[in-house]
């Protein structure tokens, strides 16, 4: 049974990624990328990593995608963007990603109701083992990751700051 | 249809990675290039988790968590850079940045 669910989720991931790289509109691409990440989350769940699947949904499909969407919306402000939004949100834009998401949802409901057991070739690694490894032998790497995130925050703040316009005082008016 | 699960997962990771690579080579819009990097990082993480499931060890999943944190930091800095580029050049065309001289 793992076979069919895996192939469906993998097909959705590949189709959605192909749609991402062939879109002209960045918003449509982001929509498909969210679907692709959700499909990969289902694949991760099938490979005995439920904790990682949850992280994929929360951090990748949640936080990173929302960051990108906010950024894209920030770039085109103004009245045209509302009209553009209206043009973008036609049914033929959102119906295909929604269909793909519905297939994924059906698969998830099916897996949960089946009390799914992965095949013998796949060994389930429970979150406890991940936590023990993360805060045992990988402790230094976790701290370095914290420093990396700190560097990311400082870098984004520094780069994202608008340079204030310094006109000469005689040129001001 | 009877592919070994590890082989199938690695194939999926490879396909996703190559799609991201094609996108980053073909597209000229700089946000699309950032998205392609995301797709490639995600594919690499998937490969790690598949390997983790194959050996029954937690190390692959630990690596996925590190990739996740790195992707978050990379996106925030990358978006700030794109914002600066957009303010400087008024476009998102990455070829325009080739004309930038310090």
The residue extents of the domains of chain A are 1-90, 126-162
Q: Which two tokens stand for residue A1?
A: 């049974």
Inspect the interface and report whether the beta carbons of A60 and B64 lie closer than 8 Å: no
- For residue A109, the model assigns a pLDDT of 79
Assigned token pair, A66: 């929302």
Contact B83, B35 (CB under 8 A): no
Whole-number percent of chain B with pLDDT over 70 = 95
ipTM: 0.89
List, for residues A42-77, the tens digit of each pLDDT value: 999 888 888 999 999 999 888 998 888 888 888 765
3-state secondary structure of A172: coil
Question: Tens digits of per-residue pLDDT, B3-45?
Answer: 788 888 899 999 999 999 998 888 888 888 899 999 999 999 9
Buried b (16+ CB within 10 A) or exposed e, B65-88: bbbbbbbbbbbbbbbbbbbebbee
Q: Is A140 exposed, middle or buried (0-12, 13-18, 19+ CB in 10 A)?
A: exposed
Q: Which residues of A touch B89 (CB under 8 A)?
A: none
Decide if A64 contacts B38 (C-beta within 8 A). yes
Q: What is the number of residues in chain A? A: 173
Tokens 């392609």, residue located: B36
Half-sphere exposure of B86 (CA within 13 A, CB side): 18
Percent of chain A with pLDDT over 70: 80
Tell me the three-class secondary structure of B72-101, residue by residue. HHHHHHHHHHHHHHHHHHCCCEHHHHHHCC
B10 φ, ψ (degrees, to nearest 5): -65, -35
Within 8 A of A162 by CB-CB distance, chain B residues are 87
d(CA B9, CA A169): 64
DSSP string of B2-38, one letter each residue: ---HHHHHHHHHHHHHHHHHHHHHH--BHHHHHHHHH
pLDDT at A78 over 60: no
CA distance B5 to B83: 42
A41 — pLDDT class (breaks 50, 70, 90) = very high
State how far the Cα of A130 lies from the Cα of B61, in Å rounded to an integer. Answer: 7
pLDDT at B46 over 90: yes
B18 shares contact with chain A (CB less than 8 Å):
no
Q: What is the pLDDT of residue A42?
A: 92
**Chain A residues 8-47 within an 8 A CB cutoff of chain B:** 10, 13-14, 17-18, 20-21, 26, 29-30, 33, 36-37, 40, 43-44, 47
Residue of chain B minimizing CA distance to A140: B66
pTM across the whole model: 0.83
Of B10, B81, B90, the closest CA to residue B51 belongs to B10
Has residue B90 got a pLDDT over 60? yes
Q: Under an 8 A CB cutoff, do B77 and A47 touch?
A: no
On the question of pLDDT at A26 being above 60, the answer is yes
Q: For residue A35, what is the nearest residue in chain B, using CA coordinates?
A: B39
Distance, in Å, from the CA atom of A48 to the CA atom of A127, rounded to the nearest integer, reads 10
Question: How distant is the alpha carbon of residue B51 from its chain centre?
Answer: 19
Alpha helices in chain A (DSSP H): 2-22, 26-46, 50-55, 65-75, 79-88, 91-114, 127-134, 139-160
Contact list in A for residue B39 (CB cut-off 8 A) is: 17, 20-21, 33, 36
Report the alpha-carbon distance of residue A35 to residue A40 in Å, rounded: 9
For domain A1-90, say whether CATH 1.20.120.1200 is its number: yes
What integer pLDDT is reported at residue A88 of this predicted model? 64
Chain B residues closer than 8 Å to A28 by CB: none
């Amino acid at each position: 049974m793992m076979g069919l669910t895996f192939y469906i989720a993998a097909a959705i991931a590949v189709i959605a990624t192909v749609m991402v790289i062939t879109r002209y509109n960045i918003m449509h691409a982001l929509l498909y990328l969210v679907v692709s990440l959700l499909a990969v989350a289902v694949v991760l769940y099938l490979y005995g990593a439920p904790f990682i699947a949850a992280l994929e949904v929360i951090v990748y499909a949640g936080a990173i995608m929302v960051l990108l969407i906010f950024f894209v919306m920030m770039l085109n402000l103004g009245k045209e963007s509302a009209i553009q939004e209206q043009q973008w949100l036609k049914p033929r834009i959102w119906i295909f990603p929604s269909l793909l998401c519905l297939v994924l949802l059906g698969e998830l409901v099916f897996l949960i109701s089946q009390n799914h057991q992965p095949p013998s070739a796949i060994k389930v690694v429970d979150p406890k083992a991940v936590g023990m490894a993360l805060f045992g032998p990988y402790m230094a790497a976790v701290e370095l990751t914290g420093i990396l995130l700190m560097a990311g925050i400082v870098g984004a703040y520094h780069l994202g700051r608008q340079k204030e316009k310094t006109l000469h005082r005689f040129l001001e008016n | 249809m009877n592919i070994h699960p590890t082989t199938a997962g690695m194939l999926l990771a490879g396909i996703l990675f190559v799609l991201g690579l094609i996108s980053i080579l073909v597209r000229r819009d700089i946000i699309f290039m950032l998205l392609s990097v995301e797709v490639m990082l995600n594919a690499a993480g998937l490969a790690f988790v598949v390997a983790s499931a194959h050996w029954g060890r937690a190390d692959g999943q630990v690596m996925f968590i590190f990739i996740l944190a790195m992707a978050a930091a990379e996106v925030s800095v990358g978006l700030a850079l794109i914002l600066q580029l957009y303010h400087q050049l008024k476009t998102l065309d990455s070829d325009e940045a080739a004309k930038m001289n310090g």
